C-alpha cells in the first residue's frame, strides 16, 4: 500500500504543492526563529525556491546562504527538489 501511494504521489500534479507545504512547515526548524519570523512567503516553482522578505539585511544574508539553503531543504526532503533559490 505504501509503495502504491508513493508511486501515485510521484506521478501526481499534487506533489510540487505538497513539497512546498512541507518546506513551509519545516522552515523555522531549517533556518531558525529569527529568519522564519521575517520571511513573508516561501514558494516552490519549477525547482526554484522563492523566498520573500522586506528586510534588507535578511535579503543580503539569504543571498550569501543560497547553497546552504538548497542543501538543508533537499536533505530535509530526502531528495533533490530545490535547484535554485531566488530572494525577493
Domain with 55 in it: 1-87
What mean pLDDT comes out for the span 12-31? 89
Calculate mean pLDDT across residues 2-22.
78
Q: Give the pTM.
A: 0.84
Query: Given this model, what pLDDT does residue 43 score?
Result: 95
What confidence score (pLDDT) does residue 14 get?
76
Confidence of residue 74 (pLDDT cuts 50, 70, 90): very high
Q: What SS3 state is found at 56? A: helix
CATH number at residue 3: 3.30.300
Q: How many domains does the chain have?
A: 1
pLDDT (0 to 100) of residue 2: 75
Closest CA to 39 of 81, 48, 30, 17: 30
Amino acid at each position: 500500500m505504501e509503495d502504491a501511494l508513493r508511486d501515485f504521489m510521484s506521478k501526481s500534479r499534487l506533489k510540487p504543492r505538497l513539497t512546498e507545504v512541507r518546506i513551509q512547515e519545516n522552515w523555522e526548524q531549517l533556518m531558525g526563529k529569527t529568519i522564519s519570523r521575517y520571511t513573508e512567503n516561501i514558494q516552490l516553482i519549477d525547482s526554484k525556491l522563492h523566498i520573500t522578505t522586506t528586510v534588507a539585511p535578511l535579503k543580503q544574508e539569504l543571498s550569501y546562504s543560497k547553497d546552504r539553503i538548497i542543501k538543508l531543504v533537499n536533505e530535509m526532503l530526502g531528495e533533490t527538489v530545490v535547484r535554485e533559490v531566488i530572494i525577493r
